[in-house]
């Protein structure tokens, strides 16, 4: 028996994605599956998928970057403060000094994590060791790939900050630790019984990773807003902040049934629920409010979604084409060759994605990128 399935697609589904979704629908205890417009292939479970179960937890339907998500905040100044190369350089200097891409100096290992993260129990000594090592030196860092600190302009010309980051190495360590003790269902997917000791241990560690990821984004916001304050004397409006996460599992009620809803590259989009849906380095992002559509398990896409793999992007996208597509956006040109895999053409058309999910969410605000700080 296969689970009911709904999709909102921006383009035809590939055969590999269809095969992966078919396998997921046949997995034991999976009762509903929804595919978002940014759905694309990933290990075991596609990115851009929402999965509901009654009792089983599928770590692959959450992914390794547990708690990964977005946060945004508006400044009390216009986006024109970043009109000049000199102004952009001042911001980059502060970010390179205070916001490492990968790790802080090893001396950061002596700096405890924020309250609630440093001493909260984890399920194994090995995870405690990773917390003291990787957890400390990676806290307040961005990460590679599409993780980013980005300054943007809304249509009224106000300056906004957007950050995208997650639980860094800790999320992957937690997933891998619990997969070693998982069972396998009829399709070969690993799962944990939510009501077993193993399942409860995963969920507790998962919740710790979510808190770590949220605190990490808060740390990035603090550093980036300090950079703007130093450079331009502007302050951030804390009442404007928007937050959402797109890799998690949580208990939710849908159609009267209490379910475990897994989101891997999808954001909650309950009625009126705020969200952030980014495009790419050279395209628009959107602030949204969910419509609470039951068929989508009250979810929407978490971004544009990759149109080609990173390796394909490096092979196929010419440097000059990438630089042309990202013209008008300040970024570290020294990284251009390595950032080709983040070119707009490596992603789906964000406009098509937003049109495909008009049933799922409504646009509150459109933003265009001005300055992009990311690693390669």
Q: What's the mean pLDDT in 339-347?
A: 95
Q: What's the mean pLDDT in 8-30?
A: 96
Percent with pLDDT over 70 in the chain: 100
Distance CA 207, CA 216 (A): 14
In this prediction, residue 225 carries a pLDDT of: 97
Structure tokens at 245: 């996460």
- Per the structure, the count of domains in the chain is 1
CATH number of 337's domain: 3.90.1860.10
In this prediction, residue 165 carries a pLDDT of: 98
Length of the chain: 376
Average pLDDT score over the chain:
96
pLDDT greater than 80 at residue 108: no
In this prediction, residue 109 carries a pLDDT of: 75
In this prediction, residue 18 carries a pLDDT of: 98
Q: Render pLDDT for 41-70 as a digit per residue (tens, 0 to 9).
A: 999 999 999 999 999 999 999 999 999 999
Distance CA 41, CA 19 (A): 10
Q: By the 8 A CB rule, do 282 and 326 touch? A: yes
Q: Render pLDDT for 201-254 as a digit per residue (tens, 0 to 9).
A: 999 999 999 999 999 999 999 999 999 999 999 999 999 999 999 999 999 999
Beta bridge mates, 153: 159, 368
Distance CA 239, CA 362 (A): 21
pLDDT greater than 80 at residue 376: no
Bridge pairing between strands 148-154 and 158-165: antiparallel
Q: Which domain holds residue 342?
A: 5-373
In this prediction, residue 106 carries a pLDDT of: 76
Where does the pLDDT of residue 2 fall: very low under 50, low under 70, confident under 90, or very high at 90 and above?
A: very high
Where does the pLDDT of residue 111 fall: very low under 50, low under 70, confident under 90, or very high at 90 and above?
A: confident
Phi, psi of 300 (to 5 degrees): -150, 175
Percent with pLDDT over 90 in the chain: 96
CA dist list (Å): 259 to 15, 89, 136, 266, 297:
29, 49, 34, 17, 10
Closest CA to 36 of 10, 67, 66, 70: 10
């Amino acid at each position: 028996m296969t689970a009911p399935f709904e999709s909102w697609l921006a383009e035809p589904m590939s055969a590999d994605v269809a095969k992966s979704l078919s396998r997921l629908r046949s997995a034991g205890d999976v009762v509903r599956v929804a595919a978002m417009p940014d759905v694309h292939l990933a290990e075991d479970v596609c990115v851009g998928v929402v999965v509901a179960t009654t009792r089983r937890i599928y770590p692959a339907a959450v992914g390794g970057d547990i708690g990964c998500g977005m946060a945004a905040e508006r400044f009390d100044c216009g986006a024109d403060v970043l009109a000049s190369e000199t102004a952009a350089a001042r911001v980059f200097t502060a970010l390179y000094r205070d916001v490492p891409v990968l790790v802080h100096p090893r001396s950061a290992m002596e700096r405890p994590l924020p309250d609630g993260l440093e001493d909260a129990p984890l399920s194994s000594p090995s995870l405690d060791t990773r917390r003291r090592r990787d957890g400390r030196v990676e806290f307040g860092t961005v990460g590679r790939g599409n993780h980013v600190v980005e300054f943007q302009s809304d249509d009224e010309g106000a300056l906004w900050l957007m950050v995208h980051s997650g639980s860094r190495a800790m999320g992957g360590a937690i997933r891998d630790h619990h997969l070693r003790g998982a069972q396998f269902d009829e399709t070969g997917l690993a799962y944990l019984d939510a009501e077993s000791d193993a399942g409860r241990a995963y969920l507790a560690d998962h919740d710790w990773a979510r808190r770590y990821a949220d605190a990490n984004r808060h740390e990035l916001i603090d550093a980036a807003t300090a950079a703007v304050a130093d450079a331009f004397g502007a302050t951030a409006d804390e009442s404007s902040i928007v937050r959402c996460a797109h890799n998690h599992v949580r208990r939710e009620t849908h159609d009267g049934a209490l379910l475990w809803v897994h989101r891997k590259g999808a954001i909650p989009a309950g009625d009126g629920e705020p969200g952030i849906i980014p495009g790419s380095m050279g395209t628009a992002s959107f602030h949204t409010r969910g419509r609470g559509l039951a068929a989508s398990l009250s979810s929407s896409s978490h971004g544009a979604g990759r149109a080609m793999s990173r390796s394909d992007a490096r092979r196929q996208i010419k440097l000059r084409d990438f630089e042309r597509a990202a013209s008008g956006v300040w970024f570290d040109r020294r990284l251009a060759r390595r950032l080709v895999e983040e070119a707009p053409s490596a992603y789906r058309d964000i406009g098509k994605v937003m049109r495909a999910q008009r049933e799922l969410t409504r646009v509150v605000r459109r933003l265009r990128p001005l300055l992009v700080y990311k690693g390669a």
